[in-house]
Amino acid sequence: GAVVSQHPSRVICKSGTSVKIECRSLDFQATTMFWYRQFPKQSLMLMATSNEGSKATYEQGVEKDKFLINHASLTLSTLTVTSAHPEDSSFYICSAKGMTGGSGNTIYFGEGSWLTVV
Amino acid sequence: ELKVEQNPLFLSMQEGKNYTIYCNYSTTSDRLYWYRQDPGKSLESLFVLLSNGAVKQEGRLMASLDTKARLSTLHITAAVHDLSATYFCAVDLNLNTDKLIFGTGTRLQVFP
């Protein structure tokens, strides 16, 4: 079936630095991917829609200059957390919709990336 | 603004028992998803419900959708410990965008 892969799965960075998280669709093309964040024991919150070849669309309250999203190809979207602070520590998850065959109606999620800012 | 609420938020149940998790949403949507999340892990897709009256079953889990009532249910039959996890419903905000708004989540714990 369709697979969405994220890297890294865990990252620790120092406050003030930037960190990049990759989201890849491994066996299908995704013109649109989504980025979510999840704080411990809470639900997932949609951050932005990543559009291949164009600017990302951010949800209300999400700082676009802090969370840079680049969707340079049909299989890769990246989320860069700039000038990270401890409050950015969270679980970041990407998703993409399968476009082929029986997976056409299923939205697949990556394995998630744990970010800890110290 | 679309709101998605689940009930209960926490469920502790004995093995062999049945129970239902409810998912209510506030605006019109014809597509609803159920996911399972184990601690520290990402989401596992359980069901995609695409129309009013849709019912899907997999093993001990059965999901249904009533778009008129804006309600979906996830029914657990004869629970086993392996079902312990957090379950999320998610509603497609717009059929043309595939943006999902997630419910509050139901943390299920099954004990012997």
Q: Could you tell me what percent of chain A has a pLDDT over 90?
A: 70
Look up tokens 């004995």; give the residue: B14
- Interface with chain A: mutation pick from B31, B41, B42, B56, highest number of A CBs within 10 Å: B42
Compute the mean pLDDT over every residue in chain B, rounded to the nearest whole number.
92
**Cβ-contact A29, A99 below 8 angstroms:** yes
CA-nearest residue to B44 within chain A is A109
pLDDT at site A102: 45
A28 pLDDT tier (thresholds 50, 70, 90): confident
Chain B residues touching A108 at Cβ < 8 A: 45
Query: Would you tell me how many other CB atoms lie within 10 Å of the CB of residue B1?
Result: 7
State how far residue B77 is from chain A, nearest Cα, in angstroms. Answer: 24
State how far residue B88 is from chain A, nearest Cα, in angstroms. Answer: 8
Q: Which of residues 53-72 of A touch B (CB under 8 A)?
A: none
User: How deeply is A7 buried, as exposed, middle or buried, from its count of CB atoms within 10 A (0-12, 13-18, 19+)?
Assistant: middle
> Could you report the per-residue pLDDT of B89-108, keeping only the tens digit for each?
999 877 667 789 999 999 99
